[in-house]
C-alpha cells in the first residue's frame, strides 16, 4: 500500500466516509469511482460533466437551453484531470462561453442548462439543513455569472468577483428570496465552493477555507415555483448568464455535510483555519447583519451598519461623496420619494447582483435633503404578490392620517398594484393587498375626496403601451377610467422605445394654472408635457404633443417628482424632483456599487417648460472657497485657472465678446487631452456637456440621439450666461437657466483634477468664477 493510500485511508476513516471494517476497503482505496461514491453518499443529486445525466437519490437530467454557447464533456488534462478525480469528478467539464448581453431584453445569444419546474420541486429541502457543492473555474478577468439557481437556493459570482448566495427564508409575514453576499473569490484557479446550511446558520467554504458564517434567524422556505438552472438566473430564465466559466461537478444534499466531507471535496486533509476578518469581509458581514436589523426594525443598528459600509466603500476614489449611492450594490429608481413628519424618504431596490429581480426596497431618510442615512429595508418582497420583485412605489396619506404605499409587485401571474400601510412612521409596511390587478410603475395622489392612480399598461392585442387612469374613494376599490395619454410613436425611429411610444414611471401633477405629465423613457431621455388634465373626461391634453426632455445628457431612466414640502419663500410649497444616473459604477476591494441619484432639485413651471434648480440646502456642504473676477478668455489659450479638485461646486458667469462657443473644463488632465467640457453655443442659444463622458446608455445600447448632451437654454439673446456645475468624482451636473445636463465620466483617473476656461471663435469675459470644495454628505 502506498503512503498516499495510507493517508487517504486514515482520512476517510476519521471522516466517517469509510468504515474500518468495510470488506471493500482495499478496493475503495485503489478505486477513484468507489471513493467518489462514498464522497457523494446521500446526495440528492450529483452532476459530473461527462453527460447531462445525474446520480444521487433524485437523479434528474439537465437539458441544454438557448444558444449553443455551451460545450459539454470537455476533458481536462494533467494536474487538472487528477484534481477532478481526487474530488470524485470524472475529469470532464461543461464550459460556458456566453457573451455579455448588449440588451437586457434580448437573450437570443445566451445558453444555459435547465430542469423544469415540476421536476425541480423534488430537489427542495425537506427540513432545515442543506448543502451545495460546485467545483468551477472562472477565467481571468472576465469569468462570472450564475452557477446554480433554484426556487430556494442559488449561487453566483458578481463580475467584481464577489460570490453571492440566494436563499429562500421565512420572514415575519411570508417567504423571501434573500440575497447574501459571501466573499470575494479568486479567478483563474479551480474553486471548490460549498454552501452548508444547518442549525440556523449558513456557511460558505472556498477551497477548504471558511469564508463566511452568518446567522439565519428564520427557517428555510420556498418563496416561488421555478425551474432549476445552471448558468442562468431567475424565473423565467434570464441574466446574468454564465460567462467564460467551466464547471466540473455540482452536488446537492438534504443535510449539513460534515467538515471532513467539506475537506474531502476541497481536496485537502483538513479544513483550513478561519483567518481574521479583513475590512472587506467586515463590510460584507455588515451588509448581511443589516438584513436582520431590518427584520427587527432596529433603526439605530441599521444606521450604524449603513455608516460602516460607507466608510469602507470610500476606498474607491471614483465613488461620489455628496450624491446618494447605495452603501454596497445598486441604487436604482428613486421610488417612494416623500416628505412625512419633517423627514424626507427615498426608497430604491435592495440588490447587489441583479437590478430588478427578487428585490425588496432599501430605505434612505434625511432631515435636510442633503445628509442621508439608512432605515430598515421595507417593504420586503416576501408575499406571493411581490416575491419576484418590488418595483416603483409612491405614497399617499389615507383618511386615518397613515402613509400608504402603492407599489408595483411582480408575481408569477404578472404585475399588480399593491397597497401597504405604515402604522409606525414609515418604518414597517403591513396589510399588503392587491388593489389594482394590472399595474406597471405608477403614481397615486388625492384631489378632494377622490384618489387617482395612473400606470403604464400594454394593450391587449398589439405591443403598444398607454397610460391608463384609475379613481377610488377608499384606496381599496379602484375603477378604471380609460386611457389618459398615449405618446406619439415614431415609426421610423431606430430605438425600440421610440417606435412603440414606451412610457414608464408616469407622474401627473398640478403646477398653478398648468398640469404636467412626465413619463420615460426613450433614446432621447425621459420626457414631460405641459398641458391640461381634463378631470371629467380623464384625459391629459398636452400643449405640445412631442413634449420636452427632463435632462439633456441623461436618459433619467427613472425619476420621482412627488416630494412636496413647505420650505419655499414665505413658507410656500415647493416640489422636488429626484432622479438617477444609472451608468456610474465601481468597486472597493471587490465589493461593487452601481448607480447614483442626482441631487434633489427644485421643480417649477416657467412659461411652457420646466426648470430645475439646485436646492439652497446644498450650500451647507460648501468648504474652502476661491473666487476670481473679470478673466479675459481668448481662443487657443489655456491656464486661466489653477484650482483643482474632483468634488466641487462651480458658479461661472460669462459675458460674450464675440465667441461662438465658450465655457469651462473640469477633470482636466495635465496634458490637456482629457476633460469634461460645459459649453454655451452662441449660434444656437444652446448649452451642453461633452468630452470625456460615457457613450453608452442604460442597457449598453449605443446612443442613438445625435443631440446627446445639448439642450435649449431659454436665455434671452445677449444676456449673461451663468453656469452652475456640481462635480462629484465620476458624476457631473450642469445647470444653465434651470435646464440640466447630468452625466458621468468614462475616464476617472484621480490625477485628472484640473480645470480651465475656454472660448472659440472670439473673446469671452468670465465676470465671476466661484469654486467651492464640497464636503461629504455621509
Q: Which long-range contacts (CB under 8 A, 24 or more apart) does 166-170 make?
A: 166/358, 167/197, 167/202, 167/216, 167/220, 168/220, 168/221, 168/222, 168/223, 169/216, 169/218, 169/219, 169/220, 169/221, 170/218, 170/219, 170/220, 170/221
| DSSP H helix total and E strand total for the chain | 9, 49
Percent of the chain with pLDDT over 90: 80
pLDDT attached to residue 31 = 53
**Stretch 599-607: mean pLDDT, rounded?**
95
pLDDT attached to residue 103 = 65
- Reading the block at residue 235, the C-alpha cell is 424565473
Asked if CATH classification 3.40.50.720 holds for the domain at 31-275, the reply, yes or no, is no
Indicate the pLDDT class of residue 273, thresholds 50, 70 and 90.
Answer: confident
Q: Is the pLDDT of residue 200 over 70?
A: yes
What are the sequence ranges of the domains in the chain? Answer: 1-27, 31-275, 300-614, 621-774
pLDDT attached to residue 104 = 65
Equal fold, 31-275 vs 621-774: yes
Mean pLDDT of the chain: 90
Indicate the pLDDT class of residue 403, thresholds 50, 70 and 90.
Answer: very high
Asked if CATH classification 2.115.10.20 holds for the domain at 300-614, the reply, yes or no, is yes
**Stretch 52-65: mean pLDDT, rounded?**
94
Q: Is the pLDDT of residue 658 over 90?
A: yes
What are 726-744's pLDDT values in tens digits? 999 999 999 999 999 999 9
Q: To which H or E segment does residue 281 belong?
A: helix 279-295
- Reading the block at residue 562, the C-alpha cell is 412627488
What are 224-252's pLDDT values in tens digits? 999 999 999 998 888 999 999 999 999 99
Contact predicate 518/506, CB 8 Å: yes
Q: Is the pLDDT of residue 406 over 90?
A: yes
Angle (nearest 5°) at CA 278 between 215 and 729: 105
Task: Tell me the CATH number of domain 621-774, given options 2.60.40.10, 2.60.120.560, 3.30.70.1140, 3.30.43.10.
Answer: 2.60.120.560
pLDDT attached to residue 499 = 67
Q: Is the pLDDT of residue 32 over 60?
A: no
What are 659-700's pLDDT values in tens digits? 999 999 999 999 999 999 999 999 999 999 999 987 655 444
Residue with the larger pLDDT of the pair 714 and 494:
714
DSSP 3-state assignment of 112? strand
DSSP state letter for 256: -
Q: Is the pLDDT of residue 488 over 90?
A: no
Indicate the pLDDT class of residue 375, thresholds 50, 70 and 90.
Answer: very high
Q: Is the pLDDT of residue 389 over 80?
A: yes
**Stretch 27-50: mean pLDDT, rounded?**
73
Q: Is the pLDDT of residue 450 over 60?
A: yes
Indicate the pLDDT class of residue 108, thresholds 50, 70 and 90.
Answer: confident
Distance of CA 253 to the CA centre of its chain: 32
Residue where the block lists cell 425600440 = 496
Indicate the pLDDT class of residue 701, thresholds 50, 70 and 90.
Answer: very low
What are 63-102's pLDDT values in tens digits? 999 888 999 999 999 999 999 999 999 999 999 999 987 6
Amino acid at each position: 500500500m502506498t503512503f498516499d493510500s495510507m493517508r487517504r485511508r486514515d482520512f476517510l476513516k476519521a471522516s466517517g466516509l469509510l468504515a474500518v471494517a468495510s470488506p471493500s476497503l482495499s478496493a475503495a482505496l485503489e478505486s477513484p469511482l468507489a471513493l467518489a461514491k462514498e464522497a457523494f453518499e446521500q446526495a440528492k443529486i450529483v452532476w459530473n460533466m461527462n453527460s447531462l445525466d445525474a446520480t444521487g437519490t433524485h437523479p434528474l437530467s439537465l437539458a441544454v437551453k438557448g444558444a449553443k454557447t455551451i460545450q459539454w464533456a470537455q476533458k481536462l488534462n494533467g494536474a487538472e484531470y487528477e484534481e477532478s478525480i481526487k474530488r470524485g469528478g470524472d475529469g470532464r467539464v461543461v464550459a460556458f462561453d456566453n457573451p455579455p448581453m448588449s440588451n437586457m431584453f434580448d437573450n437570443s445569444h445566451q445558453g444555459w442548462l435547465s430542469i423544469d419546474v415540476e421536476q425541480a420541486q423534488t430537489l427542495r429541502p425537506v427540513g432545515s439543513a442543506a448543502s451545495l457543492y460546485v467545483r468551477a473555474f472562472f477565467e481571468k478577468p472576465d469569468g462570472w455569472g450564475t452557477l446554480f439557481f433554484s426556487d430556494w437556493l442559488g449561487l453566483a459570482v458578481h463580475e467584481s468577483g464577489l460570490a453571492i448566495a440566494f436563499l429562500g427564508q421565512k420572514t415575519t409575514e411570508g417567504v423571501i428570496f434573500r440575497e447574501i453576499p459571501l466573499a470575494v473569490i479568486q479567478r483563474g484557479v479551480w474553486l471548490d465552493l460549498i454552501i452548508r446550511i444547518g442549525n440556523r446558520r449558513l456557511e460558505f467554504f472556498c477551497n477548504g477555507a471558511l469564508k463566511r458564517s452568518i446567522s439565519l434567524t428564520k427557517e428555510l422556505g420556498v418563496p416561488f415555483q421555478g425551474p432549476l438552472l445552471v448558468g442562468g438566473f431567475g424565473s423565467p430564465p434570464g441574466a446574468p448568464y454564465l460567462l467564460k466559466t467551466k464547471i466540473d461537478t455540482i452536488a446537492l444534499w438534504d443535510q449539513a455535510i460534515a467538515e471532513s466531507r467539506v475537506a474531502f471535496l476541497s481536496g485537502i486533509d483538513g479544513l483550513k483555519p478561519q483567518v481574521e476578518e479583513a475590512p472587506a469581509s467586515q463590510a460584507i458581514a455588515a451588509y448581511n447583519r443589516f438584513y436582520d436589523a431590518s427584520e427587527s426594525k432596529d433603526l439605530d443598528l441599521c444606521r450604524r451598519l449603513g455608516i460602516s459600509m460607507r466608510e469602507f466603500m470610500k476606498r474607491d476614489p471614483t465613488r461620489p461623496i455628496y450624491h446618494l449611492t447605495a452603501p454596497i450594490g445598486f441604487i436604482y429608481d428613486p421610488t417612494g420619494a416623500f416628505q412625512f413628519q419633517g423627514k424626507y424618504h427615498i426608497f430604491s431596490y435592495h440588490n447587489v447582483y441583479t437590478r430588478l429581480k427578487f428585490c425588496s426596497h432599501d430605505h434612505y431618510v434625511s432631515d435636510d435633503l442633503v445628509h442621508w442615512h439608512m432605515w430598515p429595508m421595507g417593504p420586503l418582497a416576501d408575499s406571493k404578490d411581490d416575491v419576484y420583485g418590488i418595483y416603483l412605489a409612491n405614497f399617499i396619506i389615507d383618511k386615518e392620517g397613515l402613509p400608504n404605499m402603492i407599489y408595483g409587485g411582480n408575481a408569477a401571474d404578472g404585475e399588480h398594484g399593491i397597497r401597504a400601510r405604515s402604522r409606525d412612521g414609515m418604518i414597517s409596511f403591513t396589510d399588503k393587498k392587491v388593489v389594482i390587478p394590472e399595474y406597471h410603475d405608477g403614481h397615486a395622489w388625492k384631489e378632494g375626496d377622490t384618489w387617482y392612480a395612473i400606470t403604464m399598461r400594454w394593450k391587449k392585442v398589439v405591443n403598444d403601451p398607454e397610460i391608463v387612469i384609475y379613481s377610488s374613494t377608499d384606496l381599496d376599490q379602484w375603477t378604471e377610467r380609460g386611457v389618459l395619454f398615449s405618446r406619439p410613436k415614431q415609426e421610423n425611429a431606430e430605438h425600440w422605445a421610440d417606435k412603440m411610444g414606451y412610457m414608464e414611471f408616469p407622474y401627473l401633477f398640478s403646477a398653478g394654472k398648468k398640469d404636467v405629465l412626465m413619463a420615460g423613457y426613450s433614446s432621447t431621455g425621459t420626457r414631460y408635457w405641459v398641458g391640461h388634465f381634463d378631470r371629467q373626461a380623464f384625459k391629459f391634453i398636452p400643449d405640445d404633443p412631442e413634449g420636452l426632455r427632463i435632462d439633456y445628457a441623461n436618459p433619467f431612466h427613472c425619476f420621482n417628482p412627488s416630494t412636496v414640502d413647505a420650505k419655499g419663500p414665505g413658507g410656500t410649497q415647493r416640489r422636488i424632483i429626484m432622479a438617477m444616473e444609472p451608468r456610474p459604477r465601481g468597486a472597493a476591494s471587490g465589493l461593487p456599487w452601481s448607480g447614483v441619484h442626482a441631487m434633489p432639485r427644485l421643480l417649477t413651471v416657467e412659461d411652457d417648460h420646466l426648470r430645475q434648480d439646485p436646492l439652497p440646502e446644498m450650500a451647507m456642504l460648501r468648504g474652502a472657497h476661491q473666487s476670481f473676477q473679470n478673466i479675459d478668455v481668448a481662443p487657443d489659450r489655456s491656464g486661466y485657472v489653477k484650482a483643482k479638485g474632483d468634488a466641487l461646486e462651480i458658479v461661472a458667469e460669462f459675458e460674450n465678446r464675440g465667441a461662438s462657443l465658450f465655457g469651462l473644463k473640469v477633470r482636466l488632465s495635465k496634458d490637456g487631452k482629457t476633460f469634461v467640457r460645459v459649453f454655451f453655443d452662441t449660434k444656437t442659444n444652446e448649452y451642453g456637456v461633452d468630452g470625456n463622458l460615457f457613450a453608452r446608455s442604460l442597457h449598453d445600447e449605443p446612443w442613438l440621439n445625435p443631440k446627446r448632451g445639448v439642450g435649449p437654454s431659454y436665455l434671452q439673446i445677449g444676456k449673461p450666461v451663468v453656469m452652475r456645475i456640481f462635480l462629484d468624482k465620476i458624476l457631473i451636473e450642469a445647470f444653465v437657466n434651470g435646464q440640466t445636463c447630468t452625466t458621468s465620466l468614462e475616464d476617472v483617473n484621480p490625477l485628472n483634477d484640473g480645470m480651465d476656461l475656454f472660448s472659440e471663435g472670439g473673446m469671452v469675459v468670465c465676470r465671476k468664477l466661484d469654486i467651492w470644495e464640497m464636503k461629504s454628505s455621509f
